[in-house]
Amino acid sequence: MDNVIIAKDLSLSYSNNETIINKATFSISSGSFVFITGASGSGKSTLLKSLFGALNPKQGSLVVGGVELNGVSRSKLNFLRRHLGIVFQDYKLVKEWSIEKNIMLPLLINGYVKSVALNQVEKLLKHVRLNHQTGKYPFELSGGEQQRVAMARALAHNPILILADEPTGNLDEYSSQLIWNLLEGANNQLKTTVIVVTHHIPKSLNVDYKHFHIEYGSIHEVR
Amino acid sequence: MKSVKNHLSLVVALLSILFSMQVFFIVERSIDAYKVNLSNNYSVIAVSKKELSSDEFKGINKIISNAEELSPDSVIKRLTSDMKSTNVELLKLTLPKFYKLSLTYYPTPQEIKKLRSDLLGSGSITKVEDFSHNHDTVYKLLLLFKKVVALFAIVVLIVTVLLIFKELRIWQYKHNERMTIMGLFGAALWLRSAVLFRLAIVDALVASFLAFGVFMYLSSSAWVAEQFNNIGINVLIFNPIEDFLIILGVAITISILLASLIVLGHKEEA
Ligand SMILES: Nc1ncnc2c1ncn2[C@@H]1O[C@H](COP(=O)(O)OP(=O)(O)O)[C@@H](O)[C@H]1O
Ligand SMILES: [Mg+2]
């Protein structure tokens, strides 16, 4: 199996040069389901940011989907991101857009025909159990519902890799369960690689997962 | 309602720029029209030893549009109440010729100086009265008026640009979020900024058409026409084609410039 992510001696830090991740080497094979855990402030979000190119590696090599991210050009990064589905703890929905338009964003960027995109959005809305909320704006929805919109957006364009940063961090039970089911489904049925940062690994998950733990700037494979 | 508010600030700012610009044009046209008016009432008196035709005068300086010989009869009548008529005829022949020169446009003081030296250097002309003191006062007044209006327009421009820049920060914040999110999903720069440019162009069009409506109304208003008639000039307030194209061009240029500034100032948060 191919590796969708290969990190070699990867070091990460922000502009203040404090090392967050120190010379980490790991790889993630295509189609796997990966949990990343660690104490608050240990660098989970930082690692995830580096995976979608929002933070350039300080040192070492980081290849995602065949693209070397250390010193990557903007156009190559855009190309990679069009094949990623990212879910954030704070949803990052576009406020002034309806939920349909938000879900459609990756389809729009990937150049889908309008009618195909609309069809896809309708399916996704059913998928995340929001078909009764059509035409609404993010601020009219609960946190759990907003995260389901974000989840639908992340799945819309059949990404090769889903990156989720504490997607169920502060959600209601129903929404959390739904999000886990959707991530599980994408991994089981579409063989999408899923990487989730979380504090609690759900017990009822029906996937064979890997588990990395971050501590003192190092990444250990727990399972 | 929200979308109206989104547009309002830029439209109002653009409108005030377009207004001060067009008012400046109108003032400039009024001054030009007034200058024609003045030149109709302004003339130079030249005294010549021999007879000169209108064309000969035009040859001396192009600014001269017409020369009219002043009849010496009234002067002679007073001098010659008890002279024999044959002597009067003789006197008439020896008297120099007086000409009233009309000019094609209202000259600058430099042009008057040049006209004067051209006339005196032409040979037969011995004396020129250009009423230059009078002329200078009126001319300086006109220039002052024009400067005041230009200053006013520039102040409006500066204040508006400052207002726009304040608004720009709010915009930058507002658009930054959407542009960042679009960037996270791999949207190229042109796609990320498309919404912004569309908004800017729509606002420019709205402001231009509003200005068009207002100036069309003003140029057909009887009250406005009367004000200009009162000072005896006829001014084109608004040319629906040329002026509108200028307004449209300025509005679109400014709003695209602003949108570009926002795009260039866009920072993605890591
Ligand atoms: N934008 C930033 N600039 C500087 N330091 C940051 C930034 N974001 C996070 N950090 C720091 O990096 C460390 C790891 O943060 P983060 O990756 O967010 O932790 P978490 O594991 O809780 O997600 C923390 O010490 C945090 O203060
Ligand atoms: Mg975090």
β-strand pairing of A209-215 with A33-38 = parallel
What's the gap between Cα A127 and its chain centre?
A: 18
Q: Which of B75, B102, B130 is the last residue of a domain?
A: B130
Residue B139 located in a structural domain: no
pLDDT digits (tens, 9 = 90+) for A75-127: 999 999 999 999 999 999 999 899 999 999 999 999 999 999 999 999 999 99
Residues B12, B189: Cα–Cα separation, whole Å: 28
Residue B136 located in a structural domain: no
| Nearest residue in chain B measured CA to CA from A108 | B187
Residues A194, A208: Cα–Cα separation, whole Å: 12
What are the C-alpha distances in Å from B184 to residues A11, A49, A149, B178?
22, 10, 16, 10
Q: DSSP letter for B104, please.
A: S
Q: Is A174 in the pocket of ligand 1 (CB under 6 A)?
A: no
| Tokens coding A172 | 């209601």
Residues of chain B with Cβ-Cβ distance to A108 below 8 Å are 191
Under 8 Å between Cβ of B137 and B52:
no
pLDDT digits (tens, 9 = 90+) for B230-251: 877 788 888 889 999 999 999 9
Give residue A63's pLDDT.
Answer: 97
Calculate mean pLDDT across residues A162-183: 92
- Does residue B60 sit in the same domain as residue B30? no
The contacts of residue A70 (CB under 8 Å, 6+ apart) are A56, A57, A60, A61, A62
Q: What is the CATH number of the domain that holds B80?
A: 3.30.70
Between the ranges A212-216, B3-7, B261-265, where is the mean pLDDT highest?
A212-216
What are the C-alpha distances in Å from A178 to residues A85, A135, A185?
17, 21, 10
- Does residue B103 sit in the same domain as residue B185? no
Tell me which residue has tokens 């002067």: B75
Task: Work out the end-to-end distance of chain B between its first and last CA atoms, rounded to an integer number of angstroms.
Answer: 33
| Nearest residue in chain B measured CA to CA from A92 | B181
- Does residue B207 sit in the same domain as residue B100? no
Give residue B95's pLDDT.
Answer: 77
Residue B135 located in a structural domain: no
Q: Which of B130, B159, B194 is the last residue of a domain?
A: B130
3-class SS of residue A4: strand
Tell me the ipTM for this assembly: 0.92
Ligand 1 centroid – CA B82 distance (Å): 117
Q: Which of B185, B191, B267 to mutate to test the interface with A (most CBs of A within 10 A)?
A: B185
- Does residue B254 sit in the same domain as residue B159? yes
The contacts of residue A9 (CB under 8 Å, 6+ apart) are A23, A24, A25, A59, A60, A61
Residues of chain B with Cβ-Cβ distance to A97 below 8 Å are 178
- Does residue B169 sit in the same domain as residue B256? yes
Q: Is A49 in the pocket of ligand 1 (CB under 6 A)?
A: no
Query: Which one-letter amino acid corresponds to residue A55?
Result: L
Give residue B211's pLDDT.
Answer: 94
- Does residue B229 sit in the same domain as residue B251? yes
Does A52 contact B268 at a Cβ distance shorter than 8 Å? Answer: no
- A34-38, B76-80, B181-185: range with lowest mean pLDDT: B76-80
Q: Is A42 in the pocket of ligand 1 (CB under 6 A)?
A: yes
- Does residue B224 sit in the same domain as residue B155? yes
Ligand 2 centroid – CA A30 distance (Å): 24
Chain B residue set in contact with A, beta carbons under 8 Å: 2, 177-178, 181-189, 191, 268, 270
Give me the torsion for CA of B91, B92, B98, B99, rounded to 10°: -170
Residue B49 located in a structural domain: yes
pLDDT digits (tens, 9 = 90+) for A124-166: 999 999 999 999 999 999 999 999 999 999 999 999 999 999 9
Q: Is the pLDDT of residue A22 over 90?
A: yes
Which of A45, A166, A212 gets mutated to test ligand 1 (max ligand atoms within 8 A of its CB)? A45
Give residue B25's pLDDT.
Answer: 87
Under 8 Å between Cβ of A6 and A167:
no
Query: Which one-letter amino acid corresponds to residue A1?
Result: M
Residues of chain A with Cβ-Cβ distance to B5 below 8 Å are none
Residue B138 located in a structural domain: no
Give me the torsion for CA of A48, A52, A57, A61, rounded to 10°: 100
Q: Which of B85, B100, B130 is the last residue of a domain?
A: B130
Give residue B1's pLDDT.
Answer: 47
- Does residue B62 sit in the same domain as residue B125? yes
- Does residue B60 sit in the same domain as residue B164? no
Residue B151 located in a structural domain: yes
Under 8 Å between Cβ of A53 and A77:
yes
Residues of chain A with Cβ-Cβ distance to B188 below 8 Å are 75, 78
- Does residue B239 sit in the same domain as residue B192? yes
pLDDT digits (tens, 9 = 90+) for B96-155: 888 888 888 888 888 888 888 888 888 888 888 887 777 777 778 878 888 888 888 888
pLDDT digits (tens, 9 = 90+) for B200-235: 899 999 999 999 999 999 988 888 888 888 877 788
β-strand pairing of A193-197 with A33-38 = parallel
Give residue B217's pLDDT.
Answer: 93
The ligand placed nearest to the CA atom of residue A36 is 1
Helix A143-155 to helix A173-190 angle (10° resolution) is 10
Does A96 contact B268 at a Cβ distance shorter than 8 Å? Answer: no
What's the gap between Cα B47 and its chain centre?
A: 36
Residues of chain B with Cβ-Cβ distance to A95 below 8 Å are 177-178
Residues B112, B98: Cα–Cα separation, whole Å: 19
Residues A7, A68: Cα–Cα separation, whole Å: 10
Under 8 Å between Cβ of A9 and A25:
yes
- Does residue B31 sit in the same domain as residue B156? yes
Residues A94, A108: Cα–Cα separation, whole Å: 14
For A165-222, the DSSP string reads ESTTTT--HHHHHHHHHHHHHHHHHH--EEEEE-SS--TT--S-EEEEEEETTEEEE-
Query: Using CB atoms and an 8 Å cut-off, which of residues 112-151 of chain A contact chain B?
Result: none
CA dihedral sign, ordered A146, A152, A153, A155: positive
State the total domains in chain B: 2
Q: Is A14 in the pocket of ligand 1 (CB under 6 A)?
A: yes
Residue B103: give the domain boundaries. 43-130
The ligand placed nearest to the CA atom of residue A16 is 1
Residue B140 located in a structural domain: no
Query: Which one-letter amino acid corresponds to residue A145?
Result: E
Does A82 contact B177 at a Cβ distance shorter than 8 Å? Answer: no
- Does residue B126 sit in the same domain as residue B170? no
Percent of chain A exceeding pLDDT 90 equals: 90
Does A109 contact B268 at a Cβ distance shorter than 8 Å? Answer: no
Calculate mean pLDDT across residues B48-62: 85
Q: Is A45 in the pocket of ligand 1 (CB under 6 A)?
A: yes
Q: Is A18 in the pocket of ligand 1 (CB under 6 A)?
A: no
What's the gap between Cα B70 and its chain centre?
A: 35
Residue B137 located in a structural domain: no
| Mean of all residue pLDDT scores within chain B | 83
Give residue B3's pLDDT.
Answer: 64
Q: Which of A20, A84, A94 to mutate to test the interface with B (most CBs of B within 10 A)?
A: A94
Q: Is the pLDDT of residue B43 over 70?
A: yes
Q: What is the pTM of this model?
A: 0.73
Under 8 Å between Cβ of A129 and A141:
no
Under 8 Å between Cβ of A198 and A37:
yes
Under 8 Å between Cβ of A168 and A217:
no
Ligand 1 centroid – CA B249 distance (Å): 48
Q: Is the pLDDT of residue B65 over 80?
A: yes
